[in-house]
Structure 1
Amino acid sequence: RDEKSTEGWQIASLRDVDDSPLPTPGQMLQGLEWMIGEWINEGTDGQVHIAYRWSEDKNFILGDIDVRQEGVVTSKSHQRIGWDPALGKPRSWLFDSDGGFGSGHWTQLEGRWVVHSSAVLPDGANGSAMITLTPLSTDRFSIHGSNRLVGESVEQDFEIIVARKPPAPNN
């Protein structure tokens, strides 16, 4: 508190303020940079194609997820992963081509990322799941879904392994 006396201003307290810039959202998302790239999974149920990239301003990770059955795209989703400074952790938003949408809160635990997600399906039903992403190497990671609920129904767990898509050969 400053008080003016007959001899001028008197300082009642003085504090140092850290004026260094805060880390950017992109810097806070560096722990997820391993996801950047194109990933594929070919299983008996179809093919999953995932592509992650940085946004132009490098403050978000953007993802496109396609599910194909016999070569035909059956589902498309767009994901945006950002930094939530209020929670101090990554947060994501997902939008499906069929009108569904969801969000997730990301937590890093013992070398893997756990996403607590909730969703609204196109018919208005609510859903939730715990999705765990575990890097297996620089070119592979697993996606495990558990505690899955759609409305009042408990859904089965799933797990897929995705591999980094190799670069196209030079012609």
Structure 2
Amino acid sequence: MIRLWFLSLALLGGIHAAPIKELESLKWMEGTWVHESEGTTVRVKSRWLDEGRFLERNFEIQLGKEPLRKMRQTVYWDPAEKEIRSWGTFSDGTFETGVWRMKDGTLEIRREITYPDGTRGKATNLWTPIDPKNCAWSSVKRAMGRKKMPDIPTTSLQKD
């Protein structure tokens, strides 16, 4: 009975499916990226899952040696909407969804955020690869509820 279930899953789900070609533009994100300044460390670890069908990204922000916040994000191709999307969860209970688009060499991620108290927010994150070991990041058009939040200026990350 179990073998029949696995066979059905393989036939319906495509266990040995190929990598998603629409995600190939994100290959540069693979690996560990780090930003350090003023005693704060931001670390982003990215790896491919299921033979290139998903990109998992783990973020950790530390003040000194103390973790302040963590986030896990899964990036995937949405064939119905024909776009790259993501969903993520934070260590404080916040969760988000995102729509990813490449514009003039910069990856634009439009995020919709729900905080633990139910407040909604939004932000647009911008990731720009500079070379194989360096990229730039900023966050703009930020809001929490109806309150506009300040932009986070461009900062650099280096591949570890």
The verdict on a shared fold, with TM-score over 0.5 as the criterion, is yes
- Matches of 1:24 and 1:83 in 2, distance apart? 13
> How far off its partner does 1:98 sit?
0.7
- 1:160 shift after superposition: 2.1
User: Per-residue CA shift, 1:25-81, capped at 9, x if unaligned?
Assistant: 522100001000001000126110000000033200001000001211000000000
- Matched to 1:145, the amino acid is S
Q: Partners of 1:112 and 1:24 in 2: how far apart?
A: 26
Question: Cα gap change, 1:139/1:83 in structure 2, threshold over 3 Å: closer, same or farther?
Answer: same
Aligned to 1:161: 156
> Are residue 84 (structure 1) and residue 46 (structure 2) matched?
no
Which 4+ residue blocks in structure 1 deviate beyond 3 angstroms? none
Map of 1:28 onto structure 2 = 22
> Structure 1 residue 152: deviation in Å?
1.8
Aligned to 1:107: 101
Of 131, 134, 148, the match for 2:128: 134
Give the paired residue count.
Answer: 143
Using structure 2 for the length normalisation, give the TM-score.
0.85
Which structure has the greater CA radius of gyration? Answer: 1
Task: Tell me the CA shift for residue 121 of structure 1.
Answer: 0.6
Structure 1 unaligned blocks of 5 or more: 1-22, 166-171
Aligned to 1:168: none
Over aligned residue pairs, what C-alpha RMSD do you find? 1.4
Matched, 1:61 2:55: yes
TM-score (norm 1): 0.80
8 A Cα contact 1:25 1:83, kept in partner:
no
1: CA distance, partners of 2:97 / 2:146: 19
One-letter code of the match for 2:159?
R
Between the aligned residues of both structures, percent identity stands at 27
